[in-house]
Structure 1
Amino acid sequence: MAEIKTSVTINATQEKVWDVISDIDNEPKFWKGTKEVRNISKNGNQISREITIAFRDQKCLQDVTIVPKETIKAVFTEGVIVGEKILTLKDMENSCELEALWDVKLSGKMGMFTGIIKKHIKSGTEQALQAIKEEVEN
C-alpha cells in the first residue's frame, strides 16, 4: 500500500473550510485526479458513489462517510484503486489544518505500478489542498 500524508494550514474558520470540503459533489473542482462524481445512494452521512478518475478514465466505487466538521472518509470498494482517502479538519487558533491521508494501492495486475502513481497522488493532493486553501481564503 502507498501511504501519503500531507496537510495545509488555512487562515479561516473551521466552518468556512468545512462548507467547501463537505460539498463532495464539487470534488472535481479541486481534485484534478477526479474527473466526475455520480452519487448512487445516500443514507444520512453515508454516500455510495461512482467516480471517474483521471488515470485512464477508470471508474471506481466509493463508500463515503462524513463526520460533520471533522472527517470525510472515502473507501474505494471497486475499481483500479483499493484503499481509502481521509480528509481531517482540525480547528486551531484563528485557523485550521486540513490533512489528507491516503492508504491505497492499485488492484490486481496494476499493483506493480502503485509506486509510480504514488508520486502523482501526492502531487495532486498537494495541489488540491492548495486550491481549497485559496478558495476559502479569497
Structure 2
Amino acid sequence: MIEITAKVMINSTVKKVWSVISAIERDPYFWKGMIRVRNKSRDGNVFTREVTLSNSDKCYQKIILFYLEGIHIKWTRGTLTGVKDILLTQIGNQTLLEVQMNYTINGIAQLRSRHISEELRDEAELALQLIKEDIEKIQSFEIKERKQWVDLIRE
C-alpha cells in the first residue's frame, strides 16, 4: 500500500480553485503520469473514465465531484487501484489544496513499487504546483512613474 499526502496554499478563493480542478478533462495537463483520459459515462457529478498512463497501461476510474469541497477518485482496475482524494479548504483569502493518495500496485509493477511510490509523490507535488501556477498566473508587475516628454528633454 502506498500512502501519499501533498499540500499547497493557493492565493485564491475556493471557487476559483474549484473551477480549475473540477475541469477533469484537463487532468493530463496537471498529472504528468496520465497521457490521455476518456470519459465512458456520466451520471450527474459521477464520472467513469479510462485513463492511459505514461507507460501505456490503461486504468479505470470512478470520479465523484463534491462542489467546492473536493474530488474523490477511485482507481477501480489496472496497474493502480485505490483512492485519490483532492480536498479544498478555504483559509482566509487563500485555499489549501490537499491530495491524499492510497494506492495498491498490481501485476508486474509490484517489482518496482518503491520507484513507483517516489514517482507518484513527485507527480502529486508537481501537479499541485502546476495548479497553483495556473490559478495565480497573473504576474504582478512593477508600476513605474511615467515621465512626460518634456521631463526627458530636461534630464
TM-score (norm 2): 0.86
Larger radius of gyration: 2
**How far off is 1:84 after superposition?**
1.1
Partner residue of 1:97? 96
SS at match of 2:81: strand
Partner residue of 2:45? 45
Aligned length: 137
**How far off is 1:114 after superposition?**
2.0
CA deviation vs aligned residue, 1:14-60 (integer Å, no higher than 9, x gap): 00000000000010111111110100000011100001111x21110
**How far off is 1:112 after superposition?**
3.5
**How far off is 1:86 after superposition?**
0.8
Contact 1:71-1:88 at 8 Å conserved across structures: yes
Partner residue of 2:152? none
Partner residue of 2:8? 8
**How far off is 1:106 after superposition?**
1.0
Runs of 4+ residues over 3 Å off in structure 1: none
Distance 2:36 2:103 in 1: 20
Q: Once structures 1 and 2 are overlaid, which stretch shifts more, 103-112 or 35-44?
A: 103-112
Partner residue of 1:35? 35
SS at match of 1:72: strand
Contact 1:105-1:114 at 8 Å conserved across structures: no
**How far off is 1:13 after superposition?**
0.5
Partner residue of 1:133? 132
Q: Which has the higher strand share?
A: 1
Identity fraction in percent: 37
CA RMSD between the two structures: 0.9
Letter of the aligned partner of 1:28 in structure 2? P
SS at match of 2:12: coil
TM-score (norm 1): 0.96
Distance 2:131 2:66 in 1: 19
Distance 1:99 1:112 in 2: 29
Distance 2:33 2:94 in 1: 27
Runs of 5+ consecutive residues of structure 1 not aligned to the other structure:
none
Contact 1:70-1:90 at 8 Å conserved across structures: yes
Runs of 5+ consecutive residues of structure 2 not aligned to the other structure:
138-155
Where relative contact order (Cα < 8 A, 6+ residues apart) is larger, the structure is 1
SS at match of 2:126: helix
**How far off is 1:113 after superposition?**
2.4
Distance 1:107 1:129 in 2: 26
Distance 1:34 1:101 in 2: 17
- Say whether 1:63 aligns with 2:58: no
